[in-house]
Amino acid sequence: MCSDWTFSPLEECLDALIDYRGKTPVKTSSGIPLITAKVIKGGRIETPTEFIALDNYDSWMRRGIPMEGDVVLTVEAPLGEVAQLGPEKVALAQRVVTLRGKKGLLDNTYLLYLLQTEEMLDQLKARATGTTVVGIKQSELRKVQLSLPPVDQQVAAARILKALDDRITLLRETNATLEAIAQALFKSWFVDFDPVRAKAEGRQPEGAIQGSMSAAEGTTAGMPEVGQRREQLPRMPKAAMDAATAALFPDSFEESELGLVPKGWTVRSLDSIADYLNGLALQKFPPSEDSWLPVIKIAQLRKGDTIGADRAGRNIKPEYVIQNGDVLFSWSGSLEVVIWCGGEGALNQHLFKVTSAEFPKWFYYLWTRHHLPAFQQIAASKATTMGHIQRKHLTEAKVLVPPAEVIQRLGTRIEPLVERWLANAEQAQTLTQLRDTLLPRLISGQLRLPEIGADIDGASA
């Protein structure tokens, strides 16, 4: 560490340290986003789901108004999650404090990354109290020691890390858009039956989804209502469907166990279109020193990587080995379905690896995702500590299978989206690993800035 670095307690490096106490205002369905501890994760703020009314704002934020660039830190349940505020007006909930660096001494963005280092997390935990719920008091937080280089070095290091995070965020946002488009196309053709309805009414089917269409807007005749997700899609131009594609759809409906469905389409169970392979109790396959796989559990599924994962031996059947691009479905605890892109691993129990010899990946992935809200409701209704679904629920979940030509035609539109999604996800994973490698070395001064330019350019290519 260089001689021009300084050591100071956190309180001497801040222009403001604001906590938010008192009774939480009445929450509303819209208004000013309420930033709670649970939406601050991984160095960023996830989409808030709670809001407060404008007339409650001043009274709730009477201790201080958060500003753009401020760092927010969770001080309890969980401890140590951080993010940086943007220009949007927000309200901050209990268990969140605002930190604002003193000009000329502590750059806010540098503070954001400094607080993500193991050294700082260890300090926070050492000063925390509690067993079931671990938290740190403001008096102890103020005493946390910071090691600081000159501000110009702080800014330069933070700029590198922020550039990587911005690229990662852009890739993730692009992927959210790609998936929303794929879901909207799938829903239009196979759930809402838009092309069939158009033909039945004597209209030319449209070849694109209306931009105002939601990813899951309820139901149409003959299909069960599942979920209340309201993900807004990007604007997509309207265009007439080409004649060859339109000819693949019937112009009428027929009765089925689901109600009215396109004539000639088949109702099948979800587990008949794909194989749902349950994972192994991997503690029965201990790793060797030079031959092992990271264990992919529900926690890894949610994070999207295998950092810190348990290890299992490679002496498992090949079908239980997970590769990028595999569809994984957690049927217990936190029910989620994803296209995995976190690297090779071993399939743990409570996870399904979903495959099909009959249908393309996008088809069974999107049908599984379509039924996910219903599965989540089933799991939530169980009076156990960990809700789950059973295989019978896969059988009871129904899907519609159109003629192969229709699936193939939609595949020409969706498969390029999935391929691009995978490429973006792999690049984001590479950049994340690079960021995590550089962060402690930059923050500690072990790495000089000119040394990392080529690494970043190569990872972003």
Burial of 2 (0-12, 13-18, 19+ CB in 10 A): exposed
Q: In this structure, are residues 35 and 90 in contact, taking their beta carbons and an 8 Å threshold?
A: yes
Quick check: 193 pLDDT over 70? yes
Q: In this structure, are residues 134 and 125 in contact, taking their beta carbons and an 8 Å threshold?
A: yes
Distances (CA, A) of 19 to 100, 138, 236, 399: 12, 8, 43, 50
With cut-offs at 50, 70 and 90, classify the pLDDT of residue 313.
Answer: very high
CATH 3.30.365.10, applies to 6-148: no
Q: How far apart are CA 164 and CA 148, in angstroms?
A: 22
pLDDT at 54: 83
Same fold, 6-148 and 273-396: yes
Burial of 448 (0-12, 13-18, 19+ CB in 10 A): exposed
Q: CB within 8 A of 126, min separation 6: which ones?
A: none
Q: In this structure, are residues 237 and 227 in contact, taking their beta carbons and an 8 Å threshold?
A: no
Q: What DSSP string runs through 379-420? A: HHHSSSSS-B--HHHHHHSEEEE--HHHHHHHHHHHHHHHHH
Q: What is the mean pLDDT of the chain?
A: 87
pLDDT at 310: 95
Quick check: 241 pLDDT over 80? yes
Distances (CA, A) of 301 to 226, 284, 424, 441: 23, 21, 18, 28
Quick check: 163 pLDDT over 90? yes
Q: Cis (ω within 30 of 0) for the bond into 250?
A: no
* Domains in the chain: boundaries: 6-148, 273-396
Quick check: 229 pLDDT over 60? no
Q: What DSSP string runs through 19-35? A: E--SPPPPEESSSEEEE
Give strand pairing partners of 145: 9
Quick check: 340 pLDDT over 90? yes
pLDDT at 382: 73
For 162, phi and psi rounded to 5 degrees? Answer: -70, -35
Q: By C-alpha distance, which of 410, 384, 338, 71 is closest to 179?
A: 338
Task: Quick: pLDDT tens for 426-458.
Answer: 999 999 999 999 999 998 888 766 555 555 555
Share of the chain above pLDDT 70, in %: 88
Q: How far apart are CA 252 and CA 265, in angstroms?
A: 11
CB count within 10 Å of CB 131 equals 5
Quick check: 216 pLDDT over 50? no
Q: By C-alpha distance, which of 70, 66, 74 is closest to 39?
A: 74
Q: By C-alpha distance, which of 243, 278, 254, 228 is closest to 394?
A: 278
With cut-offs at 50, 70 and 90, classify the pLDDT of residue 220.
Answer: very low
Q: In this structure, are residues 322 and 340 in contact, taking their beta carbons and an 8 Å threshold?
A: yes
With cut-offs at 50, 70 and 90, classify the pLDDT of residue 459.
Answer: low
CB count within 10 Å of CB 286 equals 11
What is the arithmetic mean of pLDDT over 358-385? Answer: 90
Continuous H helices in 97-203: 108-114, 118-127, 138-141, 151-190, 194-200
Lowest-confidence region among 22-31, 227-236, 285-294, 345-354: 227-236
Q: What DSSP string runs through 29-58? A: SSSEEEE-GGGEETTEEPPP--EE-GGGHH
Residue given tokens 């929450």 in the structure block: 27
Q: Do β-strands 44-45 and 40-41 pair in parallel, antiparallel, or remain unpaired?
A: antiparallel
Burial of 414 (0-12, 13-18, 19+ CB in 10 A): buried
Lowest-confidence region among 244-248, 274-278, 321-325, 379-383: 379-383
Quick check: 325 pLDDT over 50? yes
Share of the chain above pLDDT 90, in %: 72
Give strand pairing partners of 259: 256
Q: By C-alpha distance, which of 231, 191, 227, 235 is closest to 215?
A: 231
Amino acid at 83: A
Q: How far apart are CA 224 and CA 357, in angstroms?
A: 27
With cut-offs at 50, 70 and 90, classify the pLDDT of residue 215.
Answer: very low
What's the CATH number for 273-396?
Answer: 3.90.220.20
Residue given tokens 């509690």 in the structure block: 130
Q: How far apart are CA 93 and CA 430, in angstroms?
A: 34
For 18, phi and psi rounded to 5 degrees? Answer: -120, 130
Task: Quick: pLDDT tens for 130-158.
Answer: 888 899 999 999 999 999 999 999 999 99
Retrieve residue 10's tokens: 């956190």
